[in-house]
Every structure is written in C-alpha cells, then in structure tokens.
C-alpha cells in the first residue's frame, strides 16, 4: 500500500535525552498532527516480521478511546512512544546563553544540551511502538468531529533503522516496554478511578452504607480472596466490587465487553446516585433476609462462626459465594423478578458449604476447603440455587442440566436425578 507523505515541514518543541545507547526526543504534538502523520506499521514497512511484532491488533479499543476523548472532558493520555525513519529529522538546540538568564543559576551543560526543537521535513515515516490504540482512538475521534484537533499529547521519538540490526533493536524496545509495563491493579482502580462507575459505587458504600461502612466489615485484601487468618471481614473489597458489577451490569444482561465500555466514562450524577441507592437497598435487604448476615451486622465484626470449621461455614461468607449470589440477583433482574421476593426465597436455602449442592461443587468436604472453581461451576451453583429457591424459569431447566453435567462430569440421567434430589 502506498504511503502519502506530507511535504510541509513541522517544528516541535522538544527535549533530548539519553538512556544507555538510546537517544530519544520528547515532544508535544497536536492530535491533528498525530492523526495525519502516524501510520500503522503494515502501511509503512514491507518487512512482515516487523509488522507482526510491532503492530498490535487494533480492536474495539480504538472506538472506546475515541468515545473517551469525545465524552470525557478531563481526558488525559500517557506519552506515545514512536519509531521514526526516513526523511531528514533534525534536532536544533536552543541557545540558552543568548536568552534571559535565570535569576537563580547559570544553565548547566545538561540543560543546554537538552532543550531545543525537532524539525520534521514531512517525508518521515512514523509508527507507534507503544500507544497504537491511543493513536487509532485519536484518529477515530477526529473523523467524527474536529473539536479536539489542537489538543496535545506527549510523543517520545526514537530512531528506527530498517536494517536487520535496526529491526532487532526496535523489536527489543517494543518487547521491553510491554514486558515491564504493568496494568493498573483492580485495588487501585477501586480506590482511585473517577470514571469507573462500579468503583465509585463501591467507595460510596464503604463511606455511607450503614452496614458496609463499619470497621473491619470489608477487607482491603490485594486479591478477591480473603486471608485464611481473617476471621472478621464479611468479604474482600475486590469481591464487593465484583458483586456490585454482577448485580448492576450483569443485571442488565450485559456481557464483559459491554461492562468494560460502560466503566470507561463517568456517568452523570443522577445515574450514579441511583446506582448507589439501589446497592444500598440490596444490602439492606440481604441483611434483613439472611440470618447469618443479620447476626453478623448486629455485633462487632466477627466472621469466625460463619467461615471455616467442620461445616465450612456459610456460602455467602466466601468470596465465591458472593459472586454466585450476585449472579442470582442479576438473573432475577433480567427476568423481572422483584428482589424483595427473590432475596427472601434465596435466603431460605441452606447455605452450609458441607451440604448439597455446594459440597463437591464449590467446597471440598473431605479437606474442608474451597475448591478451585471454574466458570461452569459458578453457573451450575447459580442455577441450582435459583432452582431450589423456586426462581428458575422453566425454560432454563435445560441450561441447569447441561451445567450440572459439565460441572460434575455425569450423564444427563444422573444429572436430572441429582438435580431433583437437590444436588
């Protein structure tokens, strides 16, 4: 595919730096400049290996980023790291000695050698080494309107050479950036994210809900699971976030991709207030209907009687049980079953882990510990709980039987008989 080049030169404000044998240039580029001058790797290089290794698959992420730019007024991006070759890019130092002197000190050689302008001729070929989705998102946003043309993003240029050694060098940079770049952890999202509605609702409950705002009720664990030694917490903050997501978004019948898109942009205050109120009402209903929760919330936080021992304790005092409960409530919402009816019905079913249908499915009764469960196990547990509570729609009996067969590795006849007997 031919590549269109720009004949007009471009001057960019720039800092020059060096790490080991990499000389790099930190610039500012307007969104329109990025959209016009950046090309996908497959458009600007004939080397198949380089294309495969440098160009990530551009999926729906570019559309999500475009929506973020257009709908979130406080949008912000990390720097894009770009490879640049051909043309005649030129670094021009700014003579700081001829400018107004600092009142504090003379510029050092480090400062003198680092401040300047990067001149592009317009014949350069530029591709994103890190930040492909951001670049494509900017392009999509500007195709829809030109309101963001002059917004700016930091771009770090590194020189790329099309020789075998140059390709190897760029490939190593790409792999290094991606190997050591760590995604934001869920705990940090819950604590800090101001766009993720589920994180916002989670924080609101921890501050304002009469049950969840009490000390030691929710554990600040680094994972969804609770520490073995934790005998006080009802559940973990990540399990709480997961439960809220299942009820609010799963309850809309949404799949993972729709949920992720929903959480990218902060919702209006009226919608956030509605979600907070709904979840607070859910916990009020749970605390009233489930005997162990009613007792737990009456006294200082003590989960010991409900977690562990020869019976395994209560299903809902385990993070996996909280997930199953969330899916049960989501199912009821999708099927227009009033939660004021559904929750008391679910609460009537024995939640002792040593009992059917939980033993052998979620709980290892012989070793008195939770099993490593699969998605199929969770589906089976959810449908079984709904079935026992009289909430499962007749049309979903087949789904339950299939899930039971898969989870327990039994035939249809055995599955039907065990379901009828309660698991």
pLDDT digits (tens, 9 = 90+) for 270-294: 999 999 999 999 999 999 999 999 9
Q: CA 114, CA 247: separation in Å to the nearest integer?
A: 53
The residues with which 337 forms a beta bridge, in sequence order, are none
pLDDT for 61: 74
pLDDT for 50: 43
Average pLDDT of the segment spanning 96-102: 63
| Selected residue with higher pLDDT from 194 and 353 | 353
| Selected residue with higher pLDDT from 410 and 61 | 410
Task: Say yes or no to pLDDT of 3 above 50.
Answer: no
pLDDT for 322: 97
Neighbours of 174 (CB within 10 A): 19
Q: CA 248, CA 363: separation in Å to the nearest integer?
A: 27
CB 267 within 8 A of CB 294: no
Buried b (16+ CB within 10 A) or exposed e, 62-83: bbbbbbbbbeeeebebeebbbb
pLDDT band (50, 70, 90) for residue 319: very high
Neighbours of 299 (CB within 10 A): 7
Pairing of strands 22-30, 152-159: antiparallel
Task: Say yes or no to pLDDT of 233 above 70.
Answer: yes
**DSSP H helical segments within 148-268, as ranges?**
164-180, 186-192, 197-208, 237-248, 256-262
Lowest mean pLDDT: which of 101-105, 313-317, 379-383, 408-412? 101-105
Average pLDDT of the segment spanning 307-318: 93
Q: For residue 92, what are its two tokens? A: 């021009």
Helices (H) and strands (E) in the chain, counts: 18, 11
Torsion, Cα of 213, 218, 219, 221 (10° steps): -100
pLDDT for 149: 92
Q: CA 300, CA 305: separation in Å to the nearest integer?
A: 13
pLDDT per residue as tens digits for the range 368-382: 899 999 999 999 999
pLDDT band (50, 70, 90) for residue 395: very high
Q: For residue 53, what are its two tokens? A: 């290794």
């Amino acid at each position: 595919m031919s590549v269109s080049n720009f004949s007009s030169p471009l001057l960019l404000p720039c800092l020059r730096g060096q790490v080991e044998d990499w000389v790099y240039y930190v610039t500012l580029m307007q969104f329109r400049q990025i959209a016009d001058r950046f090309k996908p790797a497959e458009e600007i290089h004939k080397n198949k290996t380089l294309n495969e290794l440098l160009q990530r698959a551009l999926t729906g992420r570019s559309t999500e980023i475009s929506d973020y730019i257009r709908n979130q007024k406080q949008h912000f991006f990390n720097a894009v790291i770009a490879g640049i070759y051909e043309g005649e890019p030129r670094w021009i130092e700014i003579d700081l000695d001829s400018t107004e002197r600092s009142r504090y000190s003379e510029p050092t050689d480090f400062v003198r050698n680092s401040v300047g302008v990067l001149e592009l001729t317009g014949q350069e070929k530029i591709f994103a080494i890190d930040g492909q989705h951001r670049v494509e998102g900017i392009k999509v946003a500007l195709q829809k309107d030109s309101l963001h043309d002059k917004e700016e993003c930091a771009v770090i240029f590194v020189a790329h050479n099309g020789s075998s050694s140059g390709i190897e060098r760029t490939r190593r940079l790409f792999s290094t950036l991606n190997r050591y770049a760590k995604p934001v952890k869920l705990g940090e999202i819950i604590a800090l994210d101001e766009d993720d509605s589920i994180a916002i609702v989670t924080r609101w409950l921890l501050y304002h809900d009469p049950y969840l705002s009490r000390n030691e009720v929710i554990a600040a664990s680094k994972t969804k699971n609770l520490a073995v030694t934790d005998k006080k917490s009802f559940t973990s903050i990540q399990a709480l976030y997961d439960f809220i997501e299942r009820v609010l978004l799963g309850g809309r019948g949404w799949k993972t991709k729709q949920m992720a898109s929903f959480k990218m942009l902060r919702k209006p205050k009226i919608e956030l207030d509605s979600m907070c109120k709904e979840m607070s009402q859910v916990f009020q209903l749970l605390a009233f209907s489930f005997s162990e929760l009613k007792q737990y919330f009456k006294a200082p936080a003590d989960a010991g009687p409900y977690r562990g021992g020869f019976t395994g304790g209560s299903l809902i005092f385990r993070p996996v049980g909280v997930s199953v409960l969330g899916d049960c409530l989501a199912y009821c919402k999708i099927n227009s079953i009033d939660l004021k009816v559904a929750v008391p019905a679910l609460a009537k079913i024995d939640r002792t882990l040593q009992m059917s249908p939980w033993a052998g499915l979620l709980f290892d009764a012989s070793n008195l510990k939770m099993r490593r469960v699969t998605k199929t196990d969770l589906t089976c547990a959810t449908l079984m709980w709904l079935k026992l509570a009289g909430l499962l729609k007749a049309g979903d009996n087949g789904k339950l039987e299939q899930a039971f067969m898969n989870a327990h590795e039994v035939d249809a006849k055995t599955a039907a008989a065990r379901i009828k007997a309660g698991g």
